[in-house]
Structure 1
């Protein structure tokens, strides 16, 4: 007989929520706020379809959490055939309403995640494996801007000021390491190892941090920023707001976006960039400088799928343009 068997039930801490509360359980299981928001929006949208039988693009869905949970409870009681049929009809309704493939796939994935969670906790007897996602458009502009324009942007911050030192360090990280703005915003001072020349970052979709190497210019930029950063304790944010209203708070992703937009807008021959377009520029520049070394670019970008890097390379060398020009000379 185990201790658990003979122990009084009053000794066991109650569950935070009942197992039957699948909706709250799924949301609580997501470690990222953005994923929580995506799931909430997708599930609410699907529940509204189940209630109304229609999808209208651009219409705000107003459902209470109680209504959402009630609809979910009824949906979980369906047979696998009926549940999959409803999801398939929902997908078709979104197509007819003019939703993009990516938007449709995100909403479908939210519902599938809910049912998978319910199935794992034995709250339903089916999975939504019959409804497939839609293949999205593969083309997107990955060229960014030229290294010459990036160099001009990096020359703009005033390195004699505190703000200039901070902004320059951010820009160097975005360019030299091809970091995403969320990865930059989440950094703490202790993630930076000046002696080793490394930085621990939490990549997209990762639960734990990975270590990347830094260039000498980035190391110098970070050291210069930390030399003037107020109260540089190890567990504090690496980059903070310097505005009067939010001084000392962790710098937000929106603020990083505004920093990049501000400096890039000052380049006469360039275009206004986002942090992700700086990342595009870095990856494309590495492919240019390495004569299309996709694996080298993969180490920089940390993309798992080499097909993504192949898309960058195709855009870089404009293979379609080369093909049509070649054909035009043959006839």
Structure 2
């Protein structure tokens, strides 16, 4: 069927021309490989250049029994992108998903934490261990700067511009932005750097990486998830939270305290303001305040 060659070319395209992150590329490829597995299991021998809408519909129907509507929509979107790439490269003339609609999913509002919940999470960190000082600095940075977990683990010492009050973040598509960082968060980072990180046996290639594991290497995203979930369990927080919950909370608390959407968009690194607008829906009182403050008939 010769899918491998086209998938590898597509990976190169996503990395070099679109500048997508490793994790995003892996998600795109996973959906294509899922289609390949379906073809193999059903003994359908067809190349990506010849596959038609009927076969794709069979695959989507099969997948719909296993995943929810949101995941189906993601798979359809990912496959459309792959076949659009094949058209772009003149391998095909049509996209077999052109007439296949994604299921309606609605817009899921992100989970958030209160300021008290976040304070309780951070207070539960055991500061008697070296990892405790690191974890406090990481959670403070996640929440006070609204970072994605991938941005946190990739943060470098050379990205810290404390005198100016900013840190440089490399986000999705290798796009850089500067995010303000408060003095208290700076303090916790400096405590970690000067009292813990200084004494680690740092592995080659990680000399500039800010947050390290005990072996002197870059932390994994999974490790950050584990740290936060363990802290939530420790304080009896009955919510399914993740590092992204702190990012959502950052944006929500800014909005509730009067920050404008454009500023929040810049700090979060959202390409479109419509992505940031989801936070308006978390607190309906914000909309009421806007009317009472700015409308001439208030």
Q: TM-score range by the shorter chain?
A: 0.7 to 0.9
- Find the aligned partners of 1:281 and 1:262 in 2 and give their Cα distance: 19
User: Which sits farther off after the overlay, 210-219 or 293-302?
Assistant: 293-302
Q: Which residue of 1 is the match for residue 49 of structure 2?
A: 76
Q: Which residue of 1 is the match for residue 292 of structure 2?
A: none
Aligned length: 274
Q: CA deviation at 1:108?
A: 2.3
- Find the aligned partners of 1:92 and 1:127 in 2 and give their Cα distance: 18
User: Which sits farther off after the overlay, 275-284 or 107-116?
Assistant: 107-116
Alignment partner of 1:131 is 2:99:
yes
Unaligned ranges ≥5, structure 1? 1-17, 54-62, 320-331
User: Which sits farther off after the overlay, 115-124 or 183-192?
Assistant: 115-124
The answer to whether the 8 A contact 1:265-1:272 is kept is: no
Alignment partner of 1:40 is 2:9:
no
Q: CA deviation at 1:158?
A: 4.7
> TM-score scaled to structure 2, two decimals?
0.77
* Inter-CA distance 38–160: structure 2 relative to 1 (3 Å threshold): closer
- Find the aligned partners of 1:189 and 1:144 in 2 and give their Cα distance: 29
- Find the aligned partners of 1:49 and 1:273 in 2 and give their Cα distance: 33
Q: Which residue of 2 is the match for residue 315 of structure 1?
A: 282
Alignment partner of 1:25 is 2:14:
no
Q: Cα RMSD (Å) of the superposition?
A: 3.2
* 1:23 partner SS: helix
Q: Between the two structures, name the one with larger relative contact order (CA 8 Å, sep ≥ 6).
A: 2
* 1:37 partner SS: helix
Which of these residues, 232, 235, 252, is aligned with residue 267 of structure 1?
235
* Inter-CA distance 139–118: structure 2 relative to 1 (3 Å threshold): closer
The answer to whether the 8 A contact 2:206-2:216 is kept is: no
Q: 1:229-250 deviations in whole A, cap 9, x for unaligned?
A: 13689853111112xxxx1111
* 2:167 partner SS: strand
* Inter-CA distance 283–208: structure 2 relative to 1 (3 Å threshold): closer
- Find the aligned partners of 2:25 and 2:46 in 1 and give their Cα distance: 19
The answer to whether the 8 A contact 1:185-1:252 is kept is: yes
Unaligned ranges ≥5, structure 2? 16-20, 287-298
